[in-house]
Amino acid sequence: YSFFNGQPRWMRSSPMTLTYAFSPDGMIDYLPQEEIRAVFSRAFGRWSEVIPVNFTEVEDYRTAEIHIGFHNGDHGDGEPFDGVLGVLAHAFSPENGRLHLDAAETWAVDFQTEGSRVAVDLESVATHEIGHVLGLAHSSVSDAIMYPSLRPRSRRVDLRIDDVEGVQALYGSNPNFNYGSLLESDQETFNG
């Protein structure tokens, strides 16, 4: 795992709660909004399980700390999106809070119903970008969430030891986190 320079992180009193909201002007219409919200709720929840940080969705986009949106091409942050595949998404280091997904992708929440060869798993990308929002940079561990590449029609949503150690170095451990279960799951994946 790696950090941004200076190891920026969200500085709030403990227990920390960060709010997030979806851009009213930057959403896709071919997936039900409830499903998109559920995907992000699960993605935030994975990080919450390992660090003492909670995430709450709010309606007011302006006052939220984390801003999520689907955008096309040049969307004003100096990092234009490039159409189908290529760059899928990007996010900003703490405490900026912007998380942008390329609206040109075929975002999928279920590959059984989305048959496109270029479909991209929304939950995998959301989980990765939340890692950036929290302060993690890219990892060289190929099965870690923070590995920068994700192939179409593939799914990578479970935090690995590398991700957990990195984010806990920034925020400490959730007292309810069971490290042994993670090791066990890593072992099962390895054997499987």
Q: Is 105 a catalytic residue?
A: no
Binds another protein by CB under 8 A, chosen from 85, 103, 109, 161: 85
Rounded-to-integer distance, Cα 102 and Cα 158, Å: 22
Q: Which stretch binds another protein (CB under 8 A): 26-34, 40-48, 58-66, 148-156?
A: 148-156
Binds another protein by CB under 8 A, chosen from 35, 82, 110, 184: 82
Q: How far is the CB of 108 from another protein (least distance, A)?
A: 13
Rounded-to-integer distance, Cα 47 and Cα 53, Å: 8
Rounded-to-integer distance, Cα 95 and Cα 75, Å: 20
Name the residue nearer to another protein (CB basis): 3 or 61: 3
Binds another protein by CB under 8 A, chosen from 11, 25, 117, 191: 117
20 phi, psi to nearest 5 deg:
-135, 155
Indicate whether 4 belongs to the interface with another protein (CB under 8 A).
yes
Which tokens belong to 88? Answer: 């899928």
Name the residue nearer to another protein (CB basis): 46 or 128: 128
Binds another protein by CB under 8 A, chosen from 59, 79, 110, 184: 79
Rounded-to-integer distance, Cα 175 and Cα 163, Å: 17
Q: How far is CA 143 from its chain centroid?
A: 15
Rounded-to-integer distance, Cα 66 and Cα 91, Å: 10
Name the residue nearer to another protein (CB basis): 77 or 110: 77
Cβ(128)–Cβ(146) below 8 Å: yes
Cβ(39)–Cβ(46) below 8 Å: no
Indicate whether 81 belongs to the interface with another protein (CB under 8 A).
yes
Indicate whether 16 belongs to the interface with another protein (CB under 8 A).
no
Rounded-to-integer distance, Cα 136 and Cα 124, Å: 15
Q: How many residues does the chain have?
A: 192
Q: How far is the CB of 170 from another protein (least distance, A)?
A: 11
What separation, in Å, do the N-terminal and C-terminal C-alpha atoms of the chain show? 24
Name the residue nearer to another protein (CB basis): 58 or 118: 118
Active site residues: 129
Q: Which parts of this chain interact with another protein (CB under 8 A)?
A: 1-7, 76-79, 81-93, 96, 117-118, 120, 125, 128-129, 132, 137-138, 140-142, 147-152, 165-166, 169
